[in-house]
Amino acid sequence: MLVSYPILLLLNLFSNCHLRRIPCIYSQFLSTHYYTEANFDNLATFCRQEYSTYQIIFSVRSPQDPGIDVVKQIIRDFPRLDIHLIICDRIIGTNLKVSNLANALSFAKYEILVIADSDIRVGEDYLQRVVQPLHNKNVGVVTCLYRSVARGWVEKLEAVGTACDFHAGAITSKQLEGMKFALGSTIVIRQEVLKAIGGFEAIADYLADDFQLGYLTAKVGYKVMLSDYIVEHVLFANSLIDSIQHQVRWLRGIRVSRPWGYLGLVFTYGNITSLILMMTIKGSILCWFWLAVTWIVRLIMGWIVGVKYLQDSSAQKYFWLVILRDLMSFTIWCYCFFGTTIEWRGLQFKLTKDGKIIPKAKDITEQFEFK
């Protein structure tokens, strides 16, 4: 059972090889939304698209947001593009990212919305490629996998885990039950679909807003498609503690949103659990054989997904960190069985059973008065 997860993934990848690249036959005017901290090099890649007509909307809450200067530089450097900067402090829920998106929505000119984090970097054919699945009216959301761009050793360790573990789980989930979630790296959605799920207000209090956009879309009967396009995710982890807090936030979000899915993650740690089993029963020849098979298959799976499929540079250079990353991830997974507190952008929140977040401190709560 512990080895069946990586085998299933390998069979899935070999049978499909790569997601098919759809010819660029579908073209629509679209609006692109961004939120969180701005980085000029990342944002500039969205301004160099080989796409006839599109609008870019940047949304922030405060006039003092440091990202405003970067956005103004973007506007100066790309004067021919339809770029808007929205500054609005209206809050519709405890997830401030979603409030930024809701504030930007009223300025969107077109039916198709492309939502991306500002730590994402793309190529010139990005928009052409990610909108193609919407040619099928039954498709409500398109999302993308990503390869990490890491600098420090903390970021590289996280990048290896993302490439060789997280994306492996996403691909397997797609194969087992279909795509019922989206990733924040890219979410393409029609406005009519967004209205059908209740708008941004429906996800305004959730921690995993990207997951909810995909989940609610699938729930109302639309398909969620995984694009063949792989974007780049630029990692900015200041310390190992920051990286661990990010993983705790992510894993506890999974635990409260999909408890059985969280429990099922034990099967993704076959190499660790087989090692614990061998140490517990002091190892027979059969145990040693099982341990060897599990570890070999795990490494093959990580290499195929992270190195071959995603072509992640950190996975290619530091593949040997896979085992260390698995040990770290398994420890955090065990830890996240308990507790409901997460830290996000310097603030502490409590996670409810359905995945919503509630500010813990009274002075923080006052910042979330709806306007």
pLDDT tens-digit readout, 140-164: 999 999 999 988 888 999 999 889 8
Evaluate whether 110 touches 56 at the Cβ level (below 8 Å).
no
Cα(343)–Cα(91) distance, integer angstroms: 20
**Is pLDDT at 77 greater than 90 in this prediction?**
yes
Tokens 């829920």 label which residue? Answer: 93
238-259: average pLDDT: 83
**CA distance readout (Å), 58 to 82, 88, 152, 234:** 11, 11, 28, 18
**Is pLDDT at 15 greater than 70 in this prediction?**
no
Highest average pLDDT, of 69-83, 167-181, 234-248, 281-295, comes from 69-83
Neighbours of 73 (CB within 10 A): 14
pLDDT tens for 313-361 read 999 999 999 988 988 988 998 999 888 888 877 788 888 888 899 887 6
Cα(285)–Cα(264) distance, integer angstroms: 28
pLDDT tens for 187-213 read 999 999 999 999 999 999 999 899 999
Neighbours of 273 (CB within 10 A): 16
The larger pLDDT score, comparing residue 131 to residue 369, is at 131
Band of pLDDT at residue 220, cut at 50, 70 and 90: very high
**What confidence score (pLDDT) does residue 125 get?**
93
**What confidence score (pLDDT) does residue 17 get?**
43
Percent of the chain with pLDDT over 90: 35
Percent of the chain with pLDDT over 70: 85
Evaluate whether 50 touches 124 at the Cβ level (below 8 Å).
yes
57-86: average pLDDT: 90
Of 222, 122, 240, 208, which Cα lies nearest the Cα of 179? 222
Give the pTM.
0.85
**Is pLDDT at 46 greater than 50 in this prediction?**
yes
Average per-residue pLDDT for the chain: 82
Question: Could you give the angle at which helices 270-281 and 322-335 cross, rounded to 10 degrees?
Answer: 80
273-294: average pLDDT: 75
Of 127, 106, 108, 105, which Cα lies nearest the Cα of 45? 127
3-state secondary structure the chain: CCCHHHHHHHHHHHHHCCCCCCCCCCCCCEEEEEECCCCHHHHHHHCCCCCCCEEEEEEECCCCCCHHHHHHHHHHHCCCCEEEEEECCCCCCCCHHHHHHHHHHCCCCCCEEEEEECCEECCCCHHHHHCHHHHCCCEEEEEEEEEEECCCHHHHHHHHHHHHHHHHHHHHHHHHHCCCCCECCEEEEEHHHHHHCCCHHHHCCECCHHHHHHHHHHHCCCEEEEEEEEEEEECCCCCHHHHHHHHHHHHHHHHHHCHHHHHHHHHHHHHHHHHHHHHHHCCCHHHHHHHHHHHHHHHHHHHHHHHHHCCCHHHHHCHHHHHHHHHHHHHHHHHCCCCCEEEECCEEEEECCCCEEEECCHHHHHHHCCC
pLDDT tens for 16-33 read 444 444 333 333 445 555
The larger pLDDT score, comparing residue 125 to residue 362, is at 125
Cα(199)–Cα(148) distance, integer angstroms: 30
**What confidence score (pLDDT) does residue 12 get?**
55
Q: What is the largest CA-CA distance in the chain?
A: 70
The larger pLDDT score, comparing residue 273 to residue 248, is at 248
Evaluate whether 214 touches 179 at the Cβ level (below 8 Å).
yes
**What confidence score (pLDDT) does residue 259 get?**
80
Evaluate whether 350 touches 361 at the Cβ level (below 8 Å).
no
pLDDT tens for 79-136 read 999 999 999 989 999 998 899 999 999 898 889 999 988 889 999 999 999 999 998 9
The larger pLDDT score, comparing residue 236 to residue 100, is at 100
